[in-house]
Amino acid sequence: MPSDSPGSIYTILDAVVGGVPILLVQFLASIALLAIGVAIYTAFTPFHERTLMARGNVAAGVVFAGAVVALALPIAAILGTSSRLLDILVWGIVAVVLQLLTLGALSLVLRNLRAAIEGGNVAAALGLASGQIAVGLLTAAAMIPT
């Protein structure tokens, strides 16, 4: 006789079967948002990360990795705290905008950023990537309800 008590295999299976469709929708929306965010971000950078990475430019790879992580952090934070798809999408867009503003601000602070990255200056790339990740972490923390 099946048991419906909390912790029984049937209760757990019901929760999994009911939760998987929601998980898939939220996960796919988050992946799409991340991919779109990365595409928008790379369209706004003054250099072409993918081309530079294909040529073996480590600095471009560091900047690209920093951007991906910085965009993923706030998306992950809201994904972990909200069950509403609209929340994930709206706050994901906010995260992309904040990263674009971060790129603009750091481009002003880190002079000749384009030439530095194109020239393979890993130190400049780490400066940009660390700024992006720091803003991503702060954005993620701000999105977590208290």
Quick check: is 75 in a domain?
yes
Quick check: is 94 in a domain?
yes
Q: If pLDDT is split at 50, 70 and 90, which confidence band does 1 have? A: very low
Quick check: is 133 in a domain?
yes
Quick check: is 19 in a domain?
no
Which tokens belong to 11? 């209760």
39-85: per-residue pLDDT in tens?
999 998 889 999 999 999 999 999 999 999 999 999 999 888 887 88
Within 45-112, residue ranges assigned H as helices are 49-54, 58-81, 85-109
Mean of the per-residue pLDDT values of the chain: 89
Quick check: is 51 in a domain?
yes
Quick check: is 137 in a domain?
yes
Print the domain residue range for 106: 26-143
Task: Return all residues near 9 (Cβ < 8 A) that are at least 6 apart.
Answer: none
Quick check: is 12 in a domain?
no
Quick check: is 117 in a domain?
yes
Total tally of structural domains belonging to the chain: 1
This prediction has a pTM of: 0.83
Residue 73: the pLDDT is: 94
What is d(CA 123, CA 22) in angstroms, rounded to the nearest whole number?
42
Is the CB of residue 42 less than 8 Å from the CB of residue 67?
yes
Our separate counts of H helices and E strands in the chain read 6, 0
Q: If pLDDT is split at 50, 70 and 90, which confidence band does 4 have? A: low
What is d(CA 63, CA 83) in angstroms, rounded to the nearest whole number?
31
